[in-house]
Chains A and B, each alone.
Chain A
Amino acid sequence: MAGQAVRAEAAGGQGLLVLRGVTKRFGGLVAVQGVSFAVAEGETVGLIGPNGAGKTTLFNVITGAVAPEGGEIRLGGERIDGLRPHEIAQRGVRRTYQIVRPFPNLSLLDNVLIGSLFGGTGRAGEAARERAREMLAFVGLTDKAAMLARDLNLAEKKKLELARALASGPQLLLLDEVLAGLNPVEIDRSLALLAEIKGRLGTTIVMVEHVMRAVLRVSDRVVVLHQGEKIAEGRPEVVAGDPRVIEAYLGERVG
């Protein structure tokens, strides 16, 4: 434990995203407790843990949707905790939602266009539109560009959110269970997409995921949360064999 903490500190020095002792309470419930870790530029970190471990809450804290009670969060060395969500987004942080939230009554193109227009991308007019079309093509939704987002199925909505998040060319992408609810074929397709985002765009990614096969395949490193606390961190194949991690998951399955 101590050794890991030291390593996280060390990585913290030059990480793109650095969390130090982040804590978030909801009334008496401690959803996130003193969590520290760092994500280096270009890295893909898997954030895993049983239901209610605090993964989504951690995303909400990083993006400024909820304010943490303690700790600090740095992006590129600069404190971002305490900033308003749009200010954090302005610095290149984008996310997707566990329960999808596309703009339901807008066309797919407008959904992604909004992503490409805002956030100091410098894109306007036709350039922004072109970028939006590119992103729709990237996730394979070109044919449906004129449809309303609410008429898509779940897999398509998740892809749309991904396109919308990518449209601004984010530095840091937070993916909250982009694979949940997809069938195996769709999962493979989405994994190929993620590999491309990582490889071609070089985007730094933190992904919350329950599909273990996916986490192990895509992540460079894994952080494990359990009841709000970080219980393990390291290379995916090592963490997957960690007795505490197994216990956390088993405990969930049995209890």
Chain B
Amino acid sequence: MPSRLRPTPLLLALAFLAFLAVPAFQDESMTSFCFRLLELVAMTYSLNLITGYLGYVDFGHIVFYGVGAYTTALLLSGGVALHPALLILPGGAAALLFGLLAGYPALRLRGAYFAIATFSINEAMKAVVLNVDWLGGSEGIPLARYIRLELTTAYYVLLGIAAAVAAFSYTAVRQKFGLGMLAIREDEDVAEALAIDTTRYKLLTYALSGAVAGLAGGIVGLAHVYVSTEYFDVGKSIEMFVIMMLGGAGTALGPLLGAFLYFLIKDFLILRSPHLHLVIFGLIIVFIVLFLPAGLVGYLRERSGRLRALLE
């Protein structure tokens, strides 16, 4: 195929370059707003791997975020003296391992059964953290006395995570690994009959997307110098779903566009209708699910073959 202009990587690169420039304005509130935005971008890209590309609905995806955050926090409070940017690596590794262990039984389930299992996995972990003393219990783990991390540093680390998972999403679907994920999403039995080791692919995707969420959880915990069971809050899982659905599940642009849209709509609604904004937001979500099930990018892709080639 002749190489032509590809808008998708261009858009992604521009967006992440814009993010890169944000701290230069030295506006604390703007940086912290973008930090929150990036957190959701990274998390949604991570969810998109398992749910958008592999087709396994993960309602408990936030569990990886919690595992990453707690691992990092425990190492820090336990006296492990590493640069904070390195301290999140064991958090990501713990999330990866957790994904392999939890995924092994859970991924035998399909469809709604898997979704329910992931939800339960998260609730179980949350209960463990709440009830085990050395995990901080309901108090959580305050980190302020171990570390003082510049927001800018945390911001760049999070930006790196988000950009990396976005780039991976874009490139994966042109390669063996990504096509294997898509085949499983489309028809798992057929994928298996085409010699795809579906068990391995599913486990790897689940653990890998978990590792990304674990890294994100780690850096957010360090930035806020506090972790608690809030890090297992399923509300955030739902937020990620909304963003993914808004933008378009299974696309490389979806999570980024979805996150922007999400914040635009949410802020607009909060300003216009401070009391009813959640209700209206809920209605918008229902509307999207009913009329734009493929999300914005998915909808545009379905409109024409030309757009499909341009937006990925």
Contacts and interface: CB of A to CB of B under 8 A. Distances in A.
A253 B196 CA distance: 41
Interface in A96-117: 97, 101, 103-106, 110, 113-115, 117
Interface in A78-128: 84-86, 89-90, 94-95, 97, 101, 103-106, 110, 113-115, 117-120, 124
A164 B190 CA distance: 11
A147 B309 CA distance: 10
20 contacts: A65-B193, A85-B193, A86-B194, A86-B195, A86-B197, A86-B198, A94-B194, A97-B190, A103-B186, A104-B186, A106-B182, A110-B179, A114-B180, A114-B196, A117-B179, A118-B176, A118-B195, A146-B308, A146-B309, A147-B305
Nearest to A128: B176
Contacts of B194: 86, 89, 94, 114-115, 118-119, 164, 168
Interface of B: 176, 179-180, 182-183, 186-187, 189-198, 305, 308-309
Contact of A103 (B190, B198, B309): B190
Most buried by B among A101, A104, A147, A168: A101
Contact of A101 (B180, B190, B195, B198): B190
Interface residues of A, number: 29
Contact of A85 (B179, B182, B189, B305): B189
A90 B305 contact: no
Contacts of B197: 86
A203 interface: no
Interface of A: 63, 65, 84-86, 89-90, 94-95, 97, 101, 103-106, 110, 113-115, 117-120, 124, 146-148, 164, 168
A195 B183 CA distance: 29
A151 to B, nearest CB: 9
A182 to B, nearest CB: 21
A89 B309 CA distance: 32
A248 to B, nearest CB: 29
A118 B196 contact: yes
Contacts of B198: 86
A104 B183 CA distance: 10
Task: Name the prevailing secondary structure of the A interface residues.
Answer: loop
Contacts of B180: 114, 117-118
Contact of A94 (B176, B186, B193, B196): B193
Q: Which 7 A-B pairs have the closest CB atoms?
A: A119-B195, A103-B186, A89-B195, A85-B192, A118-B195, A86-B192, A90-B195
A146 B187 contact: no
A179 B194 CA distance: 21
Contacts of A85: 189, 192-193
Nearest to A90: B195
B192 A84 contact: yes
Contact of A89 (B187, B192, B305): B192
Most buried by B among A101, A103, A120: A103
Most buried by B among A89, A95, A97, A114: A114
Contacts of A124: 176
Contacts of A94: 193-194
A110 B305 contact: no
Contact of A120 (B182, B195, B305): B195
Contacts of B191: 114
Most buried by A among B176, B187, B195: B195
A103 B187 contact: yes
Contacts of B186: 103-106
A15 to B, nearest CB: 22
B193 A89 contact: yes
A86 B189 CA distance: 9
Contacts of A120: 195
B310 to A, nearest CB: 12
